[in-house]
Structures are given as structure tokens and as C-alpha cells.
């Protein structure tokens, strides 16, 4: 089973077309799937847009009465999907945004790499379509640099990307390790890096996949806060152990 988890806040203009595009993509990719959308206290009609899709798609809509933020929304989605999974070693969770900047057409590539043996596949962007805000260009270029010598999984190029595929078992183990405590405490993009670090000890193999972001599809202003993201990411990077150098090869005698 593929669980596609989408946090949404005031995405009335894009969430419907995103769901329909996912349906089209997975119609040509014969896997069972469920869509789980969390409406994080939207006030723009997102709830009304989602309602008819729940009648024709394998869609569950969760809702927060008030906006709780990306990290809490993402964690609630993950916990919901993990609780539903009957075969966590085979099932997959895909996370992506509700603003349609990430192309659902890339989902099969991520899933095929999980089926090929990876436990995590993280997307990294190629040249995006549409005008990319200056702050976002800066962030994509420099924020991953903070983790360059940290213990992030080999193969992951962009630790801040939220477009990923996970084997359910690694998230289940990360949640169990917390014994009920929150998995995510950082805000915005830093929560994606925090999630990566939480699952890292449970991974056998991680891979990256290049995707093209589509900023021309987003119908609202960016919510990216460069200064807040820098502070949260820097704080997280400082608390992350440095990667250990590889052990020298054993000499043959």
C-alpha cells in the first residue's frame, strides 16, 4: 500500500487539481494507494474543495480546528499512515506539499526505488520552472551546506526537501523510539531535516532522486521565512553528531 500524505493550509486553488493529477499518475502505476490530506485550519475554502474528492477517490481528510504548523501536520499524517499499515516492511509513505510545486508524476520513480531496496528516497530539485523567489534560491543553495559534515544518510542531497518516499517500517521504528514524545519540533523546512535525522538510524539504504519543482503552479504567496528557517536549521545542525570518518580497511595477513 502507498500512503500519500499531504499537509494543506489555504490551498483551495491547487489541492483539487493536485489530487486529480495523483489519480491520473497512479492509474498508470498499478499499486494500491490511499490519500491522506490534513487541512491545517484553512480559512480559504480548502475544506469545501476537498469534500467532493472524498466521494470519488480513496481519500481521508483530517482537519485541525486551528493552524498548528507544518511540523505538527506532517507528524499527524505520518502517525495516521503508520497506524493503518498492515505490512510496514512493504508499504510506503510518500510526503509532498499541497501547493502543486512538486510534480506527482515523479511519485512512481520514488516508489520504484523503494521496491528496489531503498528504505528512503529523498527528492532534490533540478532547475525549477517558474520564477523562484530569491530567498528560496538562497535556501536551496546554502542551507544544506549546514549539514555537510553531519550524520545524514549517504545518498541524500537535500536534507530540507519534504518530497520523499519512506518504507513504513523506518517511520514506525522512529516513532516507537520516542515512546510517545513528539517526533518533530522544528518549524518549516527544518522539520524535514529533523525527520530525516530521526529515521537515519533505522535505514539500511537511502537514495536521492532529482525532480523539477514547478513554482509557476503555486497560486499563493510563499510562506518561506528565511531568517526563521536559518535559525531552526542552524540549531538542528549544531545538535546533530558529526559523521564519523570511514574505518581503515583491515590489513590482510
The CATH number of residue 228's host domain is 3.90.550.10
Q: How many domains does the chain have?
A: 1
DSSP-based three-state secondary structure for 246? coil
Residue 248 domain-assigned (yes or no) = no
Residue 246 domain-assigned (yes or no) = no
Residue 252 domain-assigned (yes or no) = no
Band (146; pLDDT cuts 50, 70, 90): low
Task: Give the torsion through C-alpha atoms of 109, 33, 59, 76, to 10 deg.
Answer: -80
Query: What digits encode the pLDDT tens for the residues 62-84?
Result: 999 999 999 999 999 999 999 99
pLDDT at residue 157, rounded to an integer: 81
Per the CB < 8 A criterion, the answer to whether 150 and 174 are in contact is: no
- The residue range of the domain holding 32 is 2-238
Residue 193 domain-assigned (yes or no) = yes
pLDDT at residue 247, rounded to an integer: 31
Residue 59 domain-assigned (yes or no) = yes
Query: What digits encode the pLDDT tens for the residues 176-200?
Result: 999 999 999 988 888 998 999 899 9
Query: What digits encode the pLDDT tens for the residues 117-126?
Result: 999 999 987 6
Give the C-alpha separation, 233 to 194, whole Å: 9
- Lateral strand order in the sheet of 164-167: 59-64, 33-40, 2-8, 92-95, 164-167, 120-125, 206-211
DSSP-based three-state secondary structure for 100? coil
Cell of 251: 590489513
Residue 245 domain-assigned (yes or no) = no
pLDDT higher for 245 or 191?
191
- The angle subtended at Cα 209 by Cα 102 and Cα 100, nearest 5°, is 5
Residue 251 domain-assigned (yes or no) = no
C-alpha radius of gyration, the chain, whole number: 18
Residue 82 domain-assigned (yes or no) = yes
Amino acid at each position: 500500500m502507498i500512503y500519500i500524505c499531504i499537509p494543506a493550509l489555504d490551498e483551495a486553488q491547487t489541492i483539487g487539481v493536485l489530487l486529480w493529477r495523483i489519480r491520473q499518475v497512479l492509474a498508470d502505476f498499478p499499486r494500491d494507494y490511499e490519500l491522506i490530506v490534513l487541512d491545517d485550519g484553512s480559512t480559504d475554502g480548502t475544506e469545501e474543495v476537498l469534500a467532493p474528492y472524498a466521494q470519488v477517490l480513496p481519500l481521508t481528510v483530517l482537519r485541525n480546528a486551528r493552524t498548528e504548523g507544518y511540523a505538527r501536520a506532517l507528524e499527524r499524517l505520518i502517525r495516521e499512515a503508520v497506524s493503518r499499515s498492515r505490512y510496514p516492511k512493504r508499504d510506503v509513505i510518500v510526503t509532498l506539499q499541497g501547493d502543486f510545486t512538486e510534480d506527482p508524476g515523479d511519485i512512481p520513480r520514488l516508489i520504484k526505488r523503494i521496491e528496489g531496496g531503498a528504505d528512503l528516497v529523498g527528492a532534490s530539485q533540478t532547475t525549477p520552472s517558474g520564477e523562484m523567489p530569491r530567498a528560496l534560491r538562497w535556501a536551496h543553495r546554502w542551507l544544506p551546506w549546514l549539514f555537510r559534515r553531519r550524520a545524514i544518510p549517504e545518498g541524500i542531497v537535500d536534507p530540507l526537501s519534504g518530497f520523499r518516499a519512506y518504507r513504513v517500517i523506518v517511520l514506525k521504528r522512529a516513532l516507537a523510539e520516542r515512546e510517545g514524545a513528539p517526533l518533530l519540533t522544528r518549524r518549516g523546512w527544518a522539520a524535514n531535516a529533523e525527520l530525516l535525522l530521526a529515521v537515519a538510524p533505522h535505514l539500511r539504504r537511502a537514495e536521492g532522486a532529482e525532480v523539477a519543482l514547478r513554482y509557476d503552479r503555486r497560486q499563493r504567496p510563499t510562506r518561506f521565512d528565511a531568517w526563521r528557517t536559518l535559525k531552526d536549521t542552524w540549531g538542528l545542525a549544531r545538535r546533530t553528531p558529526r559523521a564519523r570518518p570511514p574505518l581503515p580497511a583491515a590489513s590482510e595477513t
